[in-house]
Structure 1
Amino acid sequence: MSKHGATKRTTTAQLQAMKGVRPIVSLTAYTTPMARLLDEHCDMLLVGDSLGMVLYGLPSTVAVTMEMMIAHGQAVMRGVTSACVIVDLPFGSYQESREQAFRSAARIMAETGCDGVKLEGGAEMAETVAFLTARGVPVCGHVGLMPQQVNTTGGYRSLGRSDKEADKIRNDAQAIADAGAFAIVVEGTIEPLAREITAAIAAPTIGIGASPACDGQVLVCDDMLGLFNDFKPRFVKHFAELAPLVSQAAAAYAEEVKARTFPGPEHTFQPKK
Structure 2
Amino acid sequence: MLLSDISQKIQRGDKLAMLTCYDATFAKLMESEGVDILLVGDSLGMVLHGQTDTLQVTLQDMCYHTRTVAAGARQTVIMADMPYGTYEHDQELALQHAQQLINSGAHIVKIEGGGAMVNTAKYLIDRGISVCAHLGFTPQSVNQLGGYKIQGKTESAANIIMQDAQAMSDAGVSFVLLEMVPAQLARTITQSINAPTIGIGAGADCSGQVLVLQDLLGIYSGPANKPADAFKAPRFVRNFLSETGSVQSAVRAYIHAVKAGTFPAPQHSY
Q: Normalised by the size of structure 2, how large is the TM-score? A: 0.83
1:231 equivalenced with 2:224 (yes/no) = no
C-alpha distance in 2 between matches for 1:190 and 1:127: 26
Q: Which amino acid aligns with 2:48?
A: L
Deviation at 1:14, TM superposition (A): 3.4
Give SS of 2:135's match.
strand
What whole-Å deviation, never above 9, does each CA across 1:123-146 have from its counterpart, x for those lacking one? 221111111111110001100000
**Greater mean deviation of Cα atoms: 16-25 or 152-161:** 16-25
- Structure-2 separation of matches of 1:145 and 1:93: 19
Q: State the AA in 2 paired with 1:227.
A: I
Change (3 A) 1:239 1:67: same
> Contact between 2:22 and 2:65, CA under 8 Å: does it hold in 1?
yes
Cα distance in 2 for partners of 1:227, 1:241 equals: 10
Please report the RMSD computed on the Cα atoms of aligned residues, expressed in angstroms.
1.8
Partner residue of 1:60?
A: 53
Matched, 1:50 2:43: yes
**Which residue of 15, 19, 24 corresponds with 2:10?**
19
Contact 2:47/2:220, CA 8 A, preserved across alignment: no
Report Cα offsets for 1:193-222 as digits up to 9, x if no partner.
Answer: 000000000000000000101000000011
2:139 to 144, 147, 155: 147
**Structure 2 vs 1, CA of residues 245 and 113 (structure 1 numbering), >3 Å: closer, same or farther?**
closer
By how many angstroms is 1:53 displaced?
0.3
Question: Is the aligned partner of 1:203 residue 2:203?
Answer: no
Q: How far off its partner does 1:245 sit? A: 9.4
**Whole-angstrom distance in 2 between the partners of 1:15 and 1:131:** 23
Instruction: Give every structure 1 segment of 4 or more consecutive aligned residues whose post-TM-superposition deviation is greater than 4 Å.
Output: none
| Structure 2 Cα separation of the partners of residues 57 and 113 of structure 1 | 25
Distance (whole Å) between structure 1 residues aligned to residue 26 and residue 232 of structure 2: 21
Q: Distance in 1 between matches of 2:8 and 2:192?
A: 16
Aligned residues of 1:45 and 1:83 also touching (Cα < 8 A): yes
Further displaced range: 185-194 or 222-231: 222-231
Structure 1 vs Structure 2: percent identity of aligned residues? 40
Identify the structure with bigger relative contact order (alpha carbons < 8 Å, sequence gap 6+).
Answer: 2
C-alpha displacement at 1:49, in angstroms? 0.3
2:116 is matched with 124
Q: 1:93 — aligned with what? A: 86
Is residue 2:164 matched to residue 1:186? no
Q: How far apart, CA to CA, are the structure 1 residues paired with 2:8 and 2:74?
A: 20
Deviations 1:19-39 (A, max 9, x none): 352111100000111111111
Q: 1:32-62 CA deviation, whole Å, 9 max, x = no partner? A: 1111111132110000000000100111001
* Structure 1, unaligned runs of 5 or more: 1-8, 247-273
Deviates more, 1:117-126 or 1:186-195: 117-126
2:61 maps to amino acid = M
- Structural mapping, 1:251-270, within 5 Å: none
Gapped regions of structure 2 (runs ≥ 5): 222-230, 248-270
TM-score (norm 1): 0.82
CA shift digits 1:211-242 (9 cap, x unpaired): 10100000001100111254311001110139
Q: Deviation at 1:18?
A: 3.5
1:161 maps to 2:153: yes
SS in 2 for 1:19: helix
Shift of 1:113: 2.1
Q: Deviations over 1:160-216 (max 9, x none)?
A: 111111011111111111111011110000110000000000000000000101000
CA contact (8 A) 2:110 2:131 kept: yes
Are the equivalent residues in 2 in contact too, given 1:16–1:204 (CA < 8 A)?
no
CA–CA distance in structure 2, aligned partners of residues 66 and 103 of structure 1: 11
Q: Which has the larger radius of gyration?
A: 1
What is the count of residue pairs matched by the alignment?
A: 235
